[in-house]
Structure 1
Amino acid sequence: MARGPRDGRMPLREHLVELRRRLVLAAVGVAAGAVVGWFIYQPIFEVLQEPLLDVAAERGTTVALNFAGAMTALDMQLKMSVFLGVLVSSPWWLYQLWAYITPGLTRRERLYSVGFVAAAVPLFLAGAAVAWWVLPRAVVLLVEFVPQGALNIQDAQGYLGFVMRIVLAFGIAFLLPVVMVALNLVGLVRARTYLRAWRWAVVAAFTFSAMMTPTADVLTMFALAMPICGLYAIAVGVGFLHDRRADRRAARLLAENEIPA
């Protein structure tokens, strides 16, 4: 007999049906956000090209975005609308992701994790904000080798694609603790495993920051890497608290179900 989510076990078919349902709901949310993104595209575009214009004014050069081809502007607006839809609908699709994971958890585990899960949206948006802080420095790097008085015509697809990648990369990176806690709560990874891998996590955080930081100064790299390391440490701490509770519960159940010889 198939067991429902109350005892944490579901047949594979039910898992797949539930996954499809959550993916459809998430896609609907992103589509609705993309509609909003379509209407706010123009002011967002003006904000995105502002770093280019500022650098051009400071250096006395001409820096502009070029839309090559008749369909390029429309294609770019569609892509940016979907990108903005992902940002705008992040509370919705993050909820769908967590709702798919949590049916097998007990009431205590849901209550225990709700505060941390609620941080997923601000964490994602915080990562996007950090990326926006890095963006002007990236623009400076892109145009600093242009000779004085020369023209620098940036490909709009390439420039805006770069902006979208760096914003999404930082947003997803800041979601690391939520993913770690989710894997811990469903019993796939114990906190001790995370703790043993802390050296690799620090190396990965600094490597990611070095790759995504356009400037050569160490302070900027540290400013990006340290929050990621701190979030990793918080997730490990939450995992240890959950593992301790889970071990106590398992020991109590084992003692209650033990059959005397």
Structure 2
Amino acid sequence: MNVQGRGRPRRRRSSRDGTATMTLVAHLTELRKRVGLSLLFILLGTALAFWWYEHGLGAFIRAPYCGLPEDLRYNDADGDCGLLITDVFGGALIRLKISFIVGIVLSAPFWLFQLWRFITPGLKRNEKLYGVSFVAASSGLFALGAALAYVSLAAGLRLLLGLAGDGVIVALTAQDYIGFVISLLLAFGVSFELPLIAVMLNLVGALSYAALSSARRWIVFLTFVFAAFVTPTQDPFTMLVMAVPMIVLFEGAIQVARVVDKRRARRAAIESFHDLDDDEASPLDAAPSALDGRATQSEPLHSPST
């Protein structure tokens, strides 16, 4: 009986992900696969949005405009609200544009998952956690900004169109209105991502709480300047609607940076003892601590004899 090697321990196979050791050609092949799947999901989302356009999506987009008073919007002979189209292909192009943008939004979880599957093998565990948190938080903040823009859209239109005064018939074209709505939603959504970028820079150690706290006044000032330039309408109402929530989010980012820096300093203080030799004294403060007020005065150990 062959007993050779019976006592030799078996080597455990490494549990590393095979995609982390791919060649360049394999990486390009994997990238092509992920991009292809992402485009397929976007195409399916676009087709769904194209069908949805006649079943509520178009009315949802026109709702802020059609909710204005009748003297501030265009009405046909039957009194129904509508947008003007000035060329033959205008209606088809508008519907395709809206369907494509909505399709990207609807399919975002699927193509973001494909992107995540491509970059995950090259990341460490803490980087993966940061990545998941960043994607989830950025998606939520973008949706929050877009929702706020949609809610404030009707008030902004009423303010801007009302400035035309009496005797002026307001009739917006579909191209102008859709472009205005999309640019406003994107401006609000992207602007709400800026405080999250500050948090991520703090997590990687590139931006400290002290720097953010000392620049708080500049952050407030630059936020108002940014809102004044980014908003498509550039009116005071829309600027305030964008700037005030951004300032609140930046203040939240500063507080998160404060907590992170405290934990980082506490962790660094603990890990600083690991580099000491066994016979080396730790850098502890050997001075006696201050006593409370009742024990500050010296008292004799024995009462004097009478």
User: Any idea what the Cα deviations from partners look like across 1:142-190, whole Å, max 9, x if unmatched?
Assistant: 4324565654332211210110010111112222233222233333333
Selected match of 2:207 from 160, 176, 189: 189
Match of 1:45 among 58, 65, 77: 58
Task: Check the 8 A contact 2:72/2:169 in 1, yes or no.
Answer: no
Matches within 5 A, 1:1-261: 29-42=41-54, 43-59=56-72, 62=75, 64-92=82-110, 100=119, 104=123, 106-107=125-126, 118-146=136-164, 148=166, 150-210=168-228, 212=231, 221-250=239-268, 255-257=273-275
**Aligned-pair CA distance for 1:95:** 6.3
Normalised TM-score (structure 1): 0.71
Unaligned 5+ segments in structure 2 are: 1-15, 76-80, 281-306
Is the CA contact (8 Å cut-off) linking 1:117 and 1:178 kept in structure 2?
no
Give the Cα separation in 2 of the matches to 1:47 and 1:228.
26
Aligned residue-pair number: 251
Choose 209-218 or 140-149, whichever is displaced more.
209-218
Q: Deviations over 1:197-228 (max 9, x none)?
A: 3223212322344453859666x754542221
Cα distance change on mapping 1:205 and 1:30 into 2, 3 Å: farther
Matches of 2:52 and 2:172, distance apart in 1: 22
Secondary structure, aligned partner of 2:172: strand
Secondary structure of the residue that 1:152 maps to in structure 2? coil
- Give secondary structure in 1 for the equivalent of 2:253: helix
Alpha-carbon deviation of 1:130?
0.7
Moved more, 241-250 or 110-119: 110-119
1:122 positional shift: 2.7
In structure 1, list runs of 5 or more residues that go unmatched: none
Per the TM alignment, residue 233 of structure 1 is displaced from its structure 2 partner at its CA by 1.8
TM superposition shift of 1:57? 1.5
Q: CA deviation at 1:134?
A: 1.7
CA distance in structure 1 between the partners assigned to 2:203 and 2:31 by the alignment: 18
> Counterpart amino acid of 2:53?
Y
User: Whose Rg is larger?
Assistant: 2
Structure 1 residues 251 and 24: alpha-carbon distance in aligned structure 2, compared to 1, 3 A threshold: farther
Over the residues paired in the alignment, what is the CA RMSD in angstroms? 4.3
Report how far residue 29 of structure 1 moved: 4.7
Cα distance in 1 for residues equivalent to 2:260 and 2:31? 25
Distance 2:170 2:134 in 1: 46
The residue identity in structure 2 corresponding to 1:53 is C
**1:49 is matched by which residue type in structure 2?**
R
Contact map agreement 2:72 2:170 (CA 8 A) in 1:
no
Deviation at 1:21, TM superposition (A): 8.0
SS of the aligned residue for 1:49 comes to helix
Q: Which amino acid aligns with 1:234?
A: G
Residue 102 to residue 147, structure 1, CA distance change in 2 (3 Å): farther
| CA distance in structure 2 between the partners assigned to 1:251 and 1:25 by the alignment | 47
Bigger helix fraction: 1
- Helix, strand or coil at the partner of 2:157: helix
Q: Which has the higher contact order (CA 8 A, sep 6+)?
A: 1
- Give the residue type in structure 2 aligned to 1:134: S
Structure 1 range deviating more: 220-229 or 78-87: 220-229
Question: Residue 74 of structure 2 contacts residue 82 of structure 2 at CA under 8 Å; is this kept in 1?
Answer: no
